[in-house]
Amino acid sequence: MSTSTRLAELRDELSAIERDGLKRRRRMLDTPCGPLARVGERELISFCSNDYLGLANDPALIEAACVGARQWGVGSGASHLVSGHLAPHEALELKLAKFTGFAHALLMTTGYMANLGIVPALVGRGDAIFADKLNHASLIDAVQLSRANSQRYPHADLAALERLLAASQAKRKLILTDAVFSMDGDLAPLPGLLELAERFDAWLVIDDAHGFGVLGPQGRGSLAHFGLPNAERIVYMGTLGKAAGASGAFVAGSETVIEWLLQRARTYIFTTGSSPVMACALLASLDLIEHGDARRERLRQLTVQLKNGLADTRWQLMTSPTAIQPVIIGDNHETLRIATALYAKGLWVPAIRPPTVPKGTSRLRVSLTAAHSESQVAALIEALRKLA
């Protein structure tokens, strides 16, 4: 096929995306991440970020980054296994392991890369993966990359998972789940998943992108929230670009698993070590997370305020107990229309559509942060009540 034919095809497909209400666009901000955003001439209250504790623009992180840049420079220069593993990276790994209660932790550049590294390092052809149907896209891609045989169980359905595990002949099994589901905000049934993993001798890989820093005592994450032990079969992934307010991710687990990932996770081995500046900022961030009860309490109060404020309206909220509060609309165009109407009132809420969520479940994904004020949340409630 000639390039011009192929380009014509792409133009057709792009038109179809637009026609179906699925076209995505970026908006450029002239302000740092925070509850107020300036976009062009507009001042907006933003309910888009995953900066749950309001740390992305915190003075302590900024200062740590500046001091870190002066001491360590900006780039790491090589992959961790060559010469890109600097003292701040090591210090951060030790701190993350201690904070999560695991023997060791390995720093990764992003959560997406972490997931793509973990799953293929643990299972391959002939092995079996059992994945929640609503898992994040990065986990879905990780399964593909592993070439293992994969089965998806209905969302959070322990009985269905048990049947699949019981029927499996595979020698190596791996259960794969988001801890907090990124588009619904609900929690995976981690105690039941761990019990099944124990009973059927499976790995349990947990993606705690939205729980780390927010849930559990001192924000130690979803395992701590449920009071679960740091079992050797658990491989725990947390991201550092959401509640931690910076960028990056880590995997924590037993000494053996972390050493194995260091030797075998391709997305760890074949990529440049993240900036030492980021590690310095993250060391400061972990201190704020650990001592961040007031931020977490504020986040909880704002979440209750939003839920109560919309309880008696036609807007269909989900049972989410977290700062991710989706408002389900269903139709793509209708979702866009409501998001646009809110935007016109100075309220920025993302419209989430397929393929990020299943067809027919398009939604507004409201995410709250400790940096929001009560009056900002009240403004969103009032606007949504008027639109209902």
Ligand X SMILES: *Cc1c(COP(=O)(O)O)cnc(C)c1O
Residues involved in catalysis? 182, 210, 242
Q: For the chain, where are the E strands, in sequence order?
A: 36-39, 42-46, 104-108, 128-132, 149-153, 173-178, 203-207, 234-239, 249-253, 316-317, 324-330, 347-348, 351-352, 362-367
Q: Of 52-111, which residues contact ligand X (CB under 6 A)?
A: 110-111
Cα dihedral 323→216→94→62 (10° resolution): 40
Q: Which is nearer to ligand X, 361 or 376 (CB)?
A: 361
372 is a site residue for ligand X (CB under 6 A): no
275 is a site residue for ligand X (CB under 6 A): no
**Least gap, CB of 115 to ligand X (angstroms):** 6
Distance CA 241, CA 114 (A): 13
Treating both helix axes as pointing N-terminal to C-terminal, what angle do 190-199 and 158-167 enclose, rounded to 10 degrees?
10
Question: Would you tell me how many other CB atoms lie within 10 Å of the CB of residue 375?
Answer: 8
Tell me the one-letter amino acid at 44. L
Only one of the segments 142-150, 206-214, 271-279, 325-333 lies at the binding site for ligand X (rule: CB under 6 A); that segment is: 206-214
* One residue of 58, 132, 186, 207 binding ligand X per CB under 6 A: 207
The radius of gyration of the chain's CA atoms, rounded to the nearest angstrom, is 21
- Where helices occur in 31-107 by DSSP H, the ranges are 59-72, 87-100
182 is a site residue for ligand X (CB under 6 A): yes
* One residue of 136, 225, 296, 298 binding ligand X per CB under 6 A: 136
303 is a site residue for ligand X (CB under 6 A): no
Name every residue whose Cβ is closer than 8 Å to that of residue 108 and which is 6 or more positions away in sequence: 114, 117, 248, 249, 250, 251, 265, 267, 268
**Least gap, CB of 208 to ligand X (angstroms):** 8
Q: How many residues does the chain have?
A: 388
Q: Which is nearer to ligand X, 46 or 138 (CB)?
A: 138
Only one of the segments 1-9, 58-66, 204-212, 226-234 lies at the binding site for ligand X (rule: CB under 6 A); that segment is: 204-212
Q: Which is nearer to ligand X, 86 or 324 (CB)?
A: 324
Q: Which of 216, 272, 218, 220 is nearest to 96 (CA)?
A: 220
* One residue of 178, 274, 347, 367 binding ligand X per CB under 6 A: 178
Q: Which is nearer to ligand X, 367 or 376 (CB)?
A: 367
321 is a site residue for ligand X (CB under 6 A): no
* One residue of 241, 309, 321, 354 binding ligand X per CB under 6 A: 241
Residue nearest to ligand X (CB): 111
112 is a site residue for ligand X (CB under 6 A): yes
* Residue 245 dihedral angles phi and psi, to the nearest 5°: 75, 10
* Residue 363 dihedral angles phi and psi, to the nearest 5°: -155, 160
371 is a site residue for ligand X (CB under 6 A): no
* One residue of 239, 285, 320, 335 binding ligand X per CB under 6 A: 239
**Least gap, CB of 248 to ligand X (angstroms):** 7
Question: Would you tell me how many other CB atoms lie within 10 Å of the CB of residue 308?
Answer: 10
- State the residues that interact with ligand X by CB under 6 A: 110-112, 115, 136, 138, 178, 182, 207, 209-210, 239, 241, 249
